Structure 1
Amino acid sequence: MRLVPIECVKEDSLLGKTIYDIEGRTLLKPGVKLTTSLISKIKELNIFSLYIVDDYSDYEIEDIIKPELRQKAIKTIRQTFTDIERVSLAHDFKKRSISDYSKKEQDYFASINSISEELLDNILSNKHLLVSLVDIKNMDSYTYQHSVNVAVLSLVLGISLKLPKYKLIELCTGALLHDIGKTFIDSGILQKPGRLTEYEFSIIKQHPIKGYDFLSSIYDFNSNSKLIILQHHERIDGLGYPYGIKDNKINYMAKISSIADVYDALTSDRPYKRAMCPGQALEYLMANTGTFFDYELVKVFSRVLVPFPNGTIVSLSNGEIGIVEENFPNFPLRPSIKVLKSIDKNNIGSHINLLDELSIVISDIEYST
């Protein structure tokens, strides 16, 4: 299967991955034939990309976590954020013990911890710690899906760094809740389809502090998880926010979540911006090491990422178009390609191993072949 912008999906293609509604209920199952009317209805759900199966893409792309666990995690985050948003008008961040919370709120906090443990156990059960799937997001539930993706990506990186289990749980919890401060921000600003004004952006930049202050009112909330929430927009060069701290002043786990946060945001469709292809997003991370991101962490992240899964159709810098047939550990941008289209007809069907052909690079992903 392969990921295709919805405007490039051809009639009679087969759906490759389940489509869920905002409540996590199944709308369409894999294998459904995509008619013109069905594609139009999917567009109305604010879904901008689909996994499809066609003549070029009989490869399977597996999610690193079980689909039912992903939906359970999204539902838990949505319920937590929605309830906090409902009571957030008071903005009362005085120190409280867990007994000061309602039974419902206590259940949410317990559920977040439980989800963190389930996500970790599920990922640890995988034989290969590689991420190749870009999650399909419904724009109406973007924040919740994004939160789960950031947690999963953070865990994969944390496991690769051999963090102990208790720190992985702290990392996952902080990543799941990294944007909780946005529940205290005007939704009109958060959902604005166009460019933010300087004033609006200054309001947005308050969300790490608001999230940190809210969770600091809970006496037993872990300090590492809180610092992820507070510092996930800080930069190595000190030009991030909210405090402009740099390098070793930034919490180590916040540095991890920052990479996951930016990668998932770049590879996600938004109403005002189409997704960047995973390869370009990885190149962005690499290009900004030492300024935005920690160099060593990005280097490890690149080893567990498969930006061009088998079955991806790509254009090459030599003008040819091919399909990815094999990926190699530690070289995420240099897979082996089978040529599908070439000016030289003799090259069609031949193989190019980008590990050997260093003068050739992948230029982009092709969708209309």
Structure 2
Amino acid sequence: MIKKIPVSELKPGMFIHDLNVGWMDHPFLRNQFPVTSDEDMGRILATGVREVYIDTEQGLDVGDHAPTQEEVKAGIEAEILQAASEPSAIIQVSFAEEVKRASRIHKQAHNVVKNVMRDVRLGQAVQMEAVEEVVEAITDSILRNAGALVGLSGIKDKDEYTFLHSVSVCTLMVTFAKSLGFPMELIKLAGVGGLLHDTGKMKVPNEILNKPGRLTDDEFAVMRSHPEEGWKILKDIPGIDEIALDITLHHHERMDGSGYPHKLPGAAISKMAQMAAVVDVYDAITSDRCYHKGMPAPEGLRKLWEWSKFHFNPELVQAFMRCVGIYPVGSLVKLESGRLAIVTEQNEGSLLQPVVKAVFSTKSNSYITPLEIDLAKPMGKGGADKITGHEDPARWKIDVARFMA
């Protein structure tokens, strides 16, 4: 049985089923391992982990007071459903109208980030004009239809992760800031900060940045130096805004003071940096890397919700979920009819009833002619179809990108 316990109840002899933090927030090769010594305990505590899941069939148990994994999941689902009653963003043009334009902007942003990172590696000046130009294009696309660019940002080549992650964080920061009603100037500055937030990773050796196995303690320390390294690089750029510097330096800080580089408590972390922390982790845990497989977007949102108890601002996590939807654009969902569909747009009235494109039948185990369905509208005498849960595209060998263009 899998149970969730506070780390204060953890002891040698127990078996960790899940450390319950993002992959890069701990130095262990795996999320699952036995706790064999006080040294293991010390390393776990040093990561800032506050709650863990244990497997009582492979290690020591705790009392009946500890909730099971199923009970925790049910509680989170209930909380999320309550939050889903809030309206989402207003869409000016359809997904189909915006997606080709968004695809061009996404490629442009990818090239800009690659050039920025190359210049940093070579010790050359970052071309801020190109950065600001592409952020403006991203902002314009988000204003027309946020789902198109957000959906494309979820599709990544794991070998290009470092660059595409920066594009995604920029896109999501612009979308997030817009949804919170920020003025246009701040929306664009949020985007600039998102695009440049990982600049310091170019000071991390490639053998550490892309290491497929466990990082040593020294390598982990080098990896954690990237916010400060990025800040050092960017602070000397003429005209760089303080918001971009703040996001770069503090996107790994956590509300309970367990983050880095300065272990700031929540009250000392700016709202922009708190937003960047949410966005950065969401994109990281939902992306495939050379050393781990990303989780589906809806599952990533549920993890953010769970972790917001200690690590993130709960109000901002809730706002972010309303911004991208309970089932974000690009998610593969299963419908009550047995069809699998890709989410293409959010509905302003209900986050649980997005617009989807049905592409596959689980009953016949075959592709079907793509069909757009607005789940908020009645459909025939039997009523509207509805989502019963999310699916992993890899399980069904569905290439989501093929249906996003």
Q: TM (normalized to structure 1)? A: 0.66
> Shift of the alpha carbon at 1:61?
11
2:334 maps to 1:314: yes
1:365 aligns with 2:365: no
Find the partner of 1:86 among 114, 122, 129: 122
3-state DSSP of counterpart to 1:73: helix
Offset of residue 135 of structure 1 = 3.1
Please state whether the residue corresponding to 1:323 is helix, strand or coil: strand
Paired with 1:139 and 1:310, the residues of 2 have a C-alpha distance of: 17
Distance 1:165 1:325, change over 3 A: closer
SS of 2:292's partner is: coil
Deviations 1:207-257 (A, max 9, x none): 101111221223421111100000000111111111110212111111112
* Residue segments in structure 2 that go unaligned for 5+ positions in a row: 1-94, 364-381, 398-405
Among 94, 113, 121, the residue aligned to 1:77: 113
Identify the residue that residue 249 of structure 2 maps to in structure 1.
230
Runs of 4 or more consecutive aligned structure 1 residues displaced over 6 Å after TM superposition: 59-62, 127-130, 334-339
* Number of the residue aligned with 1:124: 143
**Cα distance change of structure 1 residues 290 and 130 upon mapping to structure 2, 3 Å threshold:** farther
Partner of residue 114 from structure 1, selected from 133, 136, 147: 133
CA distance in 2, matches of 1:330, 1:299: 16
Q: Which amino acid aligns with 2:133?
A: S
Letter in 2 for 1:70: H
- Per-residue deviation, residues 111-162 of structure 1 (Å, max 9, x unmatched): 1112122211221123879944453222332111110110001110100001
Q: 1 CA distance for matches of 2:139 and 2:328?
A: 25
Q: Equivalent residue of 2:324, what SS?
A: coil
Match of 1:323 among 319, 326, 340: 340
Contact 2:98/2:141 (<8 A) preserved: no
Contact 1:64–1:130 (Cα < 8 Å) also in 2: no
Q: Shift of residue 314 of structure 1?
A: 3.0
Q: Structure 1 residue 309: deviation in Å?
A: 5.1
CA contact (8 A) 1:174 1:225 kept: yes
Distance in 1, matches of 2:361 and 2:293, equals 26
Q: Which amino acid aligns with 2:304?
A: L
Aligned residue among 294, 308, 320 for 1:275: 294
Superposed counterparts of 1:154-165, under 5 Å: 154-165=173-184
1:128 to 1:187, Cα distance in 2 relative to 1, 3 A: closer
- The letter of the residue matching 2:300 is A
Moved more, 175-184 or 190-199: 190-199
Return the alpha-carbon distance in structure 2 between the equivalents of residues 148 and 301 of structure 1. 17
1:334 is displaced (CA, Å) by 6.7
Structure 1 residues 303 and 131, CA, compared in 2 at 3 Å: closer, same or farther? farther
Aligned equivalents of 2:245, 2:233: Cα separation in 1: 10
Q: Kindly tell me: are residues 311 and 69 of structure 1, through their superposed partners in 2, closer, same or farther at Cα, counting changes over 3 Å?
A: closer
1:237 maps to a residue whose letter is: D
Q: What's 1:30 paired with?
A: none
Q: Kindly indicate whether the alpha-carbon contact (under 8 Å) linking 1:308 and 1:333 is maintained by their aligned counterparts in 2.
A: no
Distance 2:144 2:192 in 1: 19
TM-align CA RMSD: 3.3
Q: What is the letter of the counterpart of residue 119 of structure 2?
A: D
Match of 1:54 in 2: none
Q: Percent identity?
A: 29
Partner residue, 2:204: 185
Q: CA, structure 1 residues 125+86, in 2 after alignment: closer, same or farther (shift >3 Å)?
A: same
Contact 2:334–2:389 (8 Å) recurs in 1? yes
How far is the alpha carbon of 1:290 from its aligned partner? Answer: 3.3
Aligned residues: 279
- Describe how 1:15-94 pairs up with structure 2 within 5 A: 63=99, 66-87=102-123
Cα distance in structure 2, aligned partners of 1:191 and 1:310: 26
Q: Distance in 2 between matches of 1:147 and 1:272?
A: 19
The counterpart of 1:257, out of the listed 254, 276, 280, is: 276
When the two structures are superposed, what TM-score results if normalisation uses the length of structure 2? 0.61
The residue type paired with residue 208 of structure 1 is P
Is 1:172 the counterpart of 2:191 in the alignment?
Answer: yes
Closer, same or farther: CA 113–310 of 1 in aligned 2, 3 Å = closer
Identify if the C-alpha distance between structure 1 residues 231 and 264 changes in structure 2 by more than 3 Å, giving closer, same or farther.
same
- In 2, Cα distance between equivalents of 1:64 and 1:293: 34
Asked whether the equivalents of residues 181 and 209 of structure 1 are also in contact (C-alpha less than 8 Å), the reply is: yes
Contact 2:150/2:168, CA 8 A, preserved across alignment:
no
- Asked whether the 8 Å contact 1:303–1:330 carries over to 2, the reply is no
